[in-house]
Structure 1
């Protein structure tokens, strides 16, 4: 239990738990809340609502210390019970927790932190696992077009992939925090639902009124799913699910949506029940009459088959009341249905794997045009040229997380043109394609997200009449990299490689509808590039003077969940590295634009007085066999041998650590390091593996000159040193490794800053663009400027041309005339290609 001295800045939280004939669970839940929850006792109000249990249960619950008991003479259901508790609550925040759940000590603090920091969040949806803590109960919610909410990923192993905060349509009522004022203003849960979907309906209504519901994985609890439904006929559950789904749809959908969806939803309700009850749908056909003349007109129908029919019957009875509720919701809404489509996740999900039902779902979706009304998932292809395997380098890692994030709302394919493609199963497709096959994936997609040389492999995308939306991820200025990478090649080859890379990037800059770069420095660089190519036009500028709708900053990211050890890392796995040693980690490859040589000299200098100093290079050989080892790798090995550091103070991993296991090495390190030379590549680079240092909470030592060095200096994440200064680098390493107070302060700052760099946060510009993708303004057909003056007569135009001819002859003779004429021809041709010319 938290010390009450920190309570002044925290709101009172009223935790409401409803009991119905499961008193033992309720006692455990409330007792552990009071004993284990890290929240000030004077700001924690525990309320137990007893839903018509027996006298012994009420007496036992009433005897619990510091628990307010509210009793009901009748069973109000979950919705009514929660509302009864809310009316008795005094807190600014209402927390609903199932009586068969146990809260993590940080359950309340983590939710309150978000509610305080984000004023547009009305409700916090907690992460819910099973009681063993192994499998998912709730991490995200989806909503079908027919009004049924469902828990996405329920039953899956909790592998850490659901530990990123996100906006959701609703949270599960088994673990939900809500601001008291909007909860009261909305009338709380709809008590007509009794139980099931009252939480879906509440979240839907909050979102329609402009509030947000935020999933917070740190708000953790453990739940015995459906513990209160033990022994209850499943047909009764299906009845409530069917009725309440129709009620939620009727109340909350707009006029246009309801007109299209409700008839189909009613038909689907019947089919779902007859399929579940295995009813013969043809038994009343005239040609199926039995031969027995004594037919009595009766048949046996299971309660499963009756559930849907009775649900519709009761929905009809509720319509007068629901109509009044609908009028309120439609009057108060500030968001359109289309605004909530991303939060529905996959609205066309059939939800039940019953063959007859699936057939009906397909028919109804097509017959009522529901794919148009709810939008089939947008199809997005993410293309990389890098190896997508267990061992991935930066471009593949970025493409992987891009696909993973977009797959939350869209149908996504991650396509690699590399020979090496094999991964575990994901929520998105991962395929390998050559140039011929790549065209088919591009044709399939609505949006193409590409990096590297991918555009060169699909020439059709470059054509002026291509209507595909293209996002170019230009986080890597590869032509600047080549200035360093090509130092070991001959001058002619170097010029050709640089020219080729520049042309590849220019093609992307001419074609793209939206661009991503890694830093503000890069954004300025690319804006200059775009301006030089003529992409910064008045039309683009007038549409958005900030240019953010054309090019946005999306740096490299890191997982939202902290690293978890899954296997041994550096310590104990490498001879010569012991538990008490201080480990400096070089977490990426050894490339020509880096300066590991100065680092080796610094380690050599520092090792003379710090005998337990160890430097570990995480990967010497690139996982993509098409990327040759650079000369700097050999020079690094040679210098380490020359200084007699190898396997004493310097250790090389000659392979490449699998991406999913890199945390085991990071967690063994005491600081992360990167050193580079002072040149133009450094100025515009973004050292992607530096994010792993933040992820693992490591103090950072880095060379000045790039945008990450600015971050380290400004946020006090470590030490920034001048380029090629082994003396200052040695002192910096000594400070972060052996000054315990300084290292602790760095780790505190790292823990705060790293929250800004989760993949969800850094890729937010791309997420927003893909929700409403559109061509860049200068790529819209017919986008040429409209004439602002009356068209000149033929005579006037002729006189003007003659005057220009004389002027050009005076300036430079026939050559000047020819040059000007050629320029006019090019301009007219370009205008017509864009659709702006007249026929």
Structure 2
């Protein structure tokens, strides 16, 4: 099927093939590129690297129209040959095609379509069939714990069961597309592999750095398997496979994995070779000494099959200093944990060889080194809040607590507060108090950081351009909108400065985050606008997910999955003036400037004459975090209640804060829950977190309109919604939920059904899914660049261009002009790399 986009907009694809004593196949391959592809001819750049130029093959290949040929004086191997071609390529997409393969007509279009539609895909793995098109050569890749990549389903009949696109760990180098800028950033194929597993290593590195490798069945080619290996013995092939598997494992596995896997892999390499070569493993035992001692000095025949593994280990050790440098780079650049890649490894514990002695050793090593546990090791997640974590917790700490609790079911989680007040008697996971200067160590420990509030300003290392830690920003609280109300009592200059500072705190999170949580669809629209204004809604982000849910997801406050159970005295037993038969209205949160308790007090005053049993109870007047000052609205409420003669008769203020684990005792003593607020922008985007406690306890709800929770109450018939600042309508609503038993019972029934949607496990499902497969946001992936239809200059051409520019600048202004131009170029390149690394 033709690409829906204009062919003129398609990027240039540089197709690189390596020839080594297979000129007939190479010519056929290059002709197919010219004659068979449904892709604009001027957008295909065929490149052939000739590793066997001495046999006269160069003349035949160069005779083909439009093919760029680069003769190598020595055999560079597949990896080195591909890298040479990539250095000279002009396309923004590189395609690697074996010389003994030919592409289907849609081969290039299908790959480019995938790269354009999915910006987080760094490479496209094509479907490869045998020459006749009947059997599978490549449709999926697997990786064993000891570093050996293998083609799953190879040799099976192609019955259509592999015609769905999917993410894979690697693609076969015989038919692979890679973004050119990204390939260059990764240093291309590792040339020390020469051949075999260089494609496994590349795919492994791509995935570790957050890029996806996407199998695309429409990207089809046909392959004469291993034609170039026809003159290579099986022993030499095994030698390369063994050596390269160890190298790939050493370079790419984490410290924890490598410590267990490498010793076992080395031992298994030896056993694989002795089993394959049928070596007598006990021939040097003392009880096997020959009668004539001189026979012990004679040479013992050892096949090359048996030597392959031992020599592979020897050469792996020889190259270890070089591989160590590469390992340091890969471990520094990785953004994904080993456990993230387990699904892509498919069957990591696959023994791979059906040899009895080998299988016995494999099982013994897996048990001895506990490799099942290594490859299932949990991800490390730091949940960091600035709020106090004590038995009396406010909204941010409650939310952080439940996030940590939910994620701890699958991961190694630490809940960390930078507040000085951390005192939790019962800990289901580590709960730490860290001074701001100590946060860096916790950030370094974590694979993922979930943060809220002002935490990013303290964890400043996360802001650095080189930071690859996955960051989840919990932006359920639009702090700057709260501040508009909270700061009314301060002077204009201070208020404006505070607002600027808080807005910049949020902007810093929006620039840095890989995933964002908010509390409602209204908030989600608000934050999407914020992100768009900051330039985060880029084509790469949009094309990855046009819904943007993989960037910003709704995760409101939640409630426990189990119903509340009384564990002690509540407000009726503990408060003089409230009887067991009274009707209790509960205000379950704090009293802040953006709330309107005053209208509620007037409504209670109106009702008190007709309903002497009416009681209003404020659950917490003073915030549990002393760093949060009491707001003027609290004093105003106390003063109005006193003036109306309601205090300690119809209105009761709990001047402290009820411990979080005891709040159910107060909720179970209430007859309805209430929250009232003013109509302003803070209300529009707020999510009244304690309102969910009303659902948990089955309390009918009375609330003023304007926020997303009011919409829920109205739509689901959970209570009554009234206009703001209308004491008469508010009194009527309270009358209905408290004294109309049929209406109240219907509300309770609806609440029971709706409440199941708000359990913590349910509301945090987007975060749970993200943490199972965390990735940097698409615009934060390093090495990304748009697919351009303008050919890139080769390195040789670029060097010539630089020399010409230097001559021109010298002629214009001498060395000073050269220095000025060079400085400007350095600044531009640095800026491009920072942008390529994503918004910070």
In structure 2, what is the Cα distance between the partners aligned to 1:365 and 1:428?
28
What's the CA shift string for 1:99-144, capped at 9, x where partnerless? xxxxxxxxxxxxxxxxxxxxxxxxxxxxxxxxxxxxxxxxxxxxxx
Aligned to 2:375: 373
Contact 1:365–1:371 (CA under 8 A) maintained in structure 2: no
Distance 1:411 1:635, change over 3 A: same
Aligned-pair CA distance for 1:362: 14
Aligned to 1:665: 666
Q: 5+ residue gaps in structure 1? A: 1-144, 146-256, 268-285, 287-335, 342-360, 802-821
Query: 1:477-492, aligned counterparts within 5 Å?
Result: 477-492=478-493
In structure 1, what is the Cα distance between the partners aligned to 2:554 and 2:778?
20
Contact 1:378–1:446 (CA under 8 A) maintained in structure 2: yes
Distance 1:340 1:785, change over 3 A: closer
Aligned to 1:587: 588
In structure 2, what is the Cα distance between the partners aligned to 1:366 and 1:625?
53
Aligned-pair CA distance for 1:459: 1.3
- Does 2:676 correspond to 1:711? no
Distance 1:676 1:366, change over 3 A: farther
Aligned-pair CA distance for 1:454: 0.5
Aligned to 2:459: 458
Contact 2:781–2:837 (CA under 8 A) maintained in structure 1: no
In structure 1, what is the Cα distance between the partners aligned to 2:585 and 2:524?
32
**Secondary structure, counterpart of 1:572 in structure 2:** helix
Aligned to 1:616: 617
Aligned to 2:651: 650
In structure 1, what is the Cα distance between the partners aligned to 2:413 and 2:479?
26
In structure 1, what is the Cα distance between the partners aligned to 2:583 and 2:394?
26
- Does 2:696 correspond to 1:699? no
Contact 1:782–1:834 (CA under 8 A) maintained in structure 2: no
Aligned-pair CA distance for 1:369: 4.5
Aligned to 1:637: 638
Aligned to 1:720: 721
Aligned to 1:739: 740
Aligned-pair CA distance for 1:640: 0.4
Aligned-pair CA distance for 1:826: 8.2
In structure 2, what is the Cα distance between the partners aligned to 1:426 and 1:791?
57
Bigger relative contact order, structure 1 or 2 (CA pairs below 8 A, ≥6 apart): 2
Distance 1:776 1:739, change over 3 A: same
Contact 2:780–2:837 (CA under 8 A) maintained in structure 1: no
Aligned-pair CA distance for 1:783: 1.4
- Does 2:571 correspond to 1:570? yes
**Secondary structure, counterpart of 2:574 in structure 1:** coil
Distance 1:373 1:632, change over 3 A: same
Query: 1:283-682, aligned counterparts within 5 Å?
Result: 338=342, 367=369, 369-374=371-376, 376-682=377-683
Aligned to 2:182: none
Distance 1:697 1:371, change over 3 A: same
In structure 2, what is the Cα distance between the partners aligned to 1:470 and 1:773?
9
In structure 2, what is the Cα distance between the partners aligned to 1:509 and 1:362?
50
Aligned-pair CA distance for 1:786: 3.4
Aligned to 2:228: none
Distance 1:630 1:790, change over 3 A: same
The TM-score, its normalising length taken from structure 2, stands at 0.53
Aligned to 1:819: none
Aligned-pair CA distance for 1:340: 12
In structure 1, what is the Cα distance between the partners aligned to 2:454 and 2:672?
35
Aligned-pair CA distance for 1:830: 3.3
**Secondary structure, counterpart of 2:537 in structure 1:** coil
Contact 2:572–2:579 (CA under 8 A) maintained in structure 1: yes
Contact 1:607–1:649 (CA under 8 A) maintained in structure 2: yes
In structure 1, what is the Cα distance between the partners aligned to 2:568 and 2:539?
56
Distance 1:463 1:579, change over 3 A: same
Aligned to 1:769: 770
In structure 1, what is the Cα distance between the partners aligned to 2:824 and 2:582?
69
Q: 5+ residue gaps in structure 2? A: 1-144, 146-256, 268-285, 287-339, 346-362, 806-822
In structure 2, what is the Cα distance between the partners aligned to 1:605 and 1:381?
50
Query: 1:272-291, aligned counterparts within 5 Å?
Result: none
Aligned-pair CA distance for 1:428: 1.0
Aligned-pair CA distance for 1:824: 11
Distance 1:528 1:426, change over 3 A: same
What's the CA shift string for 1:670-729, capped at 9, x where partnerless? 000000000000000000000000000000000000000000000000000000000000
What's the CA shift string for 1:245-265, capped at 9, x where partnerless? xxxxxxxxxxxx9xx99x99x
Contact 2:779–2:837 (CA under 8 A) maintained in structure 1: no
Aligned to 1:213: none
**Secondary structure, counterpart of 1:404 in structure 2:** helix
Aligned-pair CA distance for 1:368: 6.3
Aligned-pair CA distance for 1:436: 1.1
**Secondary structure, counterpart of 1:606 in structure 2:** helix
Aligned-pair CA distance for 1:337: 11
**Secondary structure, counterpart of 2:616 in structure 1:** strand
Contact 1:513–1:550 (CA under 8 A) maintained in structure 2: yes
Contact 1:583–1:668 (CA under 8 A) maintained in structure 2: yes
Q: Following TM superposition, where does structure 1 have runs of at least 4 consecutive aligned residues deviating by more than 3 angstroms?
A: 336-341, 361-372, 791-794, 822-830, 834-837
In structure 2, what is the Cα distance between the partners aligned to 1:363 and 1:646?
74
Aligned-pair CA distance for 1:573: 1.5
Contact 1:702–1:720 (CA under 8 A) maintained in structure 2: yes
Aligned to 1:753: 754
Aligned-pair CA distance for 1:825: 9.7
Aligned-pair CA distance for 1:572: 2.2
Contact 1:464–1:834 (CA under 8 A) maintained in structure 2: no
Distance 1:572 1:545, change over 3 A: same
Distance 1:751 1:827, change over 3 A: farther
Aligned-pair CA distance for 1:791: 4.5
Distance 1:835 1:536, change over 3 A: closer
Aligned-pair CA distance for 1:833: 1.5
> Which one has a bigger Cα radius of gyration?
2
In structure 1, what is the Cα distance between the partners aligned to 2:365 and 2:440?
31
In structure 2, what is the Cα distance between the partners aligned to 1:625 and 1:643?
30
**Secondary structure, counterpart of 2:571 in structure 1:** coil
Contact 2:518–2:552 (CA under 8 A) maintained in structure 1: yes
In structure 2, what is the Cα distance between the partners aligned to 1:362 and 1:405?
36
Query: 1:72-151, aligned counterparts within 5 Å?
Result: none
In structure 2, what is the Cα distance between the partners aligned to 1:762 and 1:823?
50
Aligned-pair CA distance for 1:425: 3.0
In structure 1, what is the Cα distance between the partners aligned to 2:682 and 2:655?
26
In structure 1, what is the Cα distance between the partners aligned to 2:702 and 2:370?
61
In structure 1, what is the Cα distance between the partners aligned to 2:753 and 2:579?
30
Q: CA RMSD in A?
A: 3.3
In structure 2, what is the Cα distance between the partners aligned to 1:486 and 1:824?
46
**Secondary structure, counterpart of 2:767 in structure 1:** helix
In structure 2, what is the Cα distance between the partners aligned to 1:781 and 1:424?
44
**Secondary structure, counterpart of 1:785 in structure 2:** coil
Distance 1:562 1:725, change over 3 A: same
In structure 1, what is the Cα distance between the partners aligned to 2:444 and 2:833?
25
Aligned-pair CA distance for 1:462: 0.5
Contact 1:783–1:834 (CA under 8 A) maintained in structure 2: no
In structure 2, what is the Cα distance between the partners aligned to 1:678 and 1:552?
26
What's the CA shift string for 1:348-392, capped at 9, x where partnerless? xxxxxxxxxxxxx99967846445532x11000000000000000
Distance 1:513 1:570, change over 3 A: same
